[in-house]
Amino acid sequence: MKIDAIDLKILAKLQSNGGLSQRELADLVGLSQNSCWRRLQRLTQRGFVKGTRTQIDLTMLGLDLTVLVMVRTRHHSKEWADNFRRHVERLPEVIDFHRVGGDWDYIIKIVTRGMGGYDSFYQRLITNFDLERVTGMFSMEAIIQDRAPDLTRLAPDPSDRKKVSARRTSQSSRGSAAKS
């Protein structure tokens, strides 16, 4: 599915505030409410929009420790990786889980209650899994967190369209002059 600058604008506004009403969203992107709704439905059906979320201040709930857990393993079979994935998915502290390239095989981001919570997570993580190395990096401060990517940078640059249009006009003028 091809998306245009208006679709990107809709997505950008929604990722900044998923609680916008249809009317507010339509006003922000310069469309009628019906036109905006149809576009949003199409974007949702095609999988560009995957629900909405409310951001919760986890520290207010006592989840005051964020840890990036890096894992290296000697096992790289699909069966082992699938089993490890299912194991990690069951650990409730996990908020992000990535298989990565480089010196480490996996990075797991967790939030928990203090060092005791991390130790409990660590013990459950390593139980019944032969992991070569596990290390945790403790976040002291989240400087940028959950920042939405700038989707407007994906839209075609209007100046590029003007350049292409000018080239076409110039080429067609030359073509007309050659025929005369």
Residue 20 has a pLDDT of: 93
Q: Are 113 and 132 in contact, with CB atoms under 8 Å apart?
A: no
**63 SS3 class:** coil
Residue 177 has pLDDT above 70, yes or no: no
Give the confidence band of 169 by pLDDT, cuts at 50, 70, 90. Answer: low
Round to whole Å and give the CA distance between 100 and 103: 9
Give whole-number Cα distances, 88 to 81, 101, 114, 126, in Å. 10, 18, 20, 10
pTM: 0.77
In 3D, which of 129, 118, 130, 114 has the Cα closest to residue 93?
118
Give whole-number Cα distances, 109 to 44, 87, 123, 171, in Å. 28, 15, 16, 55
> Per-residue pLDDT tens for 42-70?
999 999 999 888 888 999 999 999 999 99
